[in-house]
Amino acid sequence: MLKVIIFIFFNIIYCQSAFNNFISHNSIFLNSPIKQITFDYHSQNIDGLSNTSSGAIIIGQDNYKIVFDKHIILFTNSIFKRYNKSTNQIFIENSNTIVDSLINNFFNADYLNKIQLDGQGQILNPPVLLENEIICYINFSADSSLIKSFNFIYGSFNIELFNIQYSTLDLDNKHIFKIDVSNAFILDLRD
């Protein structure tokens, strides 16, 4: 029993210090009004998404944009849009406030300080309640200054982000939170 208590205590201290190191090494990124995260990914069972490719996430105060090789996901002004480059279609849909809040708030120091991980890097208590079926793992670099990978699992769907790079973007760029395409077919699927 003592071994279990020591193991749990060590994991809580290690995981908290990992986020503390990440926060202190990335304060400029975390405090930036527009954050950009580029990555490579592996995916399983996600229709229309390549099994392996690269992408980017751009996060503003209440906006985000996710770019995969043939897809763009945009949340701005409380409107959720999905663009498919292959078909040149934009779908306007109801957003998921839990997912939107998670993406917009995750790279916030206060949010990160509330997260607890187990010994394998699984998020135990996301500050924003996720559906019980969503499992998230975080893998830190040896000195905990970078998050090396995220792994999101939802049933048979799985996406792992790796080779993650953090940067900031200029507020003056007016096209960051837009989908700039011509002659796209727009389909509004909202209720």
What is the domain range of residue 145?
2-188
Least confident piece of the model among 7-21, 74-88, 108-122: 7-21
- Give just the sign of the alpha carbon dihedral 122, 126, 114, 94: positive
Residue 77 has pLDDT above 60, yes or no: yes
**pLDDT given at position 15:** 47
* CA atoms of 64 and 36, how far apart (whole Å): 10
**pLDDT given at position 44:** 87
Confidence of residue 164 (pLDDT cuts 50, 70, 90): very high
DSSP 62: S
pTM of this structure: 0.83
CATH number of the domain to which 126 belongs: 2.50.20.10
Q: Which helix (H) or strand (E) holds 3?
A: helix 2-25
Residue 167 has pLDDT above 90, yes or no: yes
Residue 42 has pLDDT above 60, yes or no: yes
**Number of folded domains that form the chain:** 1
DSSP 41: E
Amino acid letter, residue 169:
L
Least confident piece of the model among 70-74, 133-137, 176-180: 133-137
Q: Are 80 and 187 in contact (CB under 8 A)?
A: no
Residue 137 has pLDDT above 60, yes or no: yes
Task: Report which of 62, 164, 57, 149 is spatially closest to residue 104, judged by C-alpha positions.
Answer: 62
Task: Report which of 169, 135, 122 is spatially closest to residue 15, judged by C-alpha positions.
Answer: 122
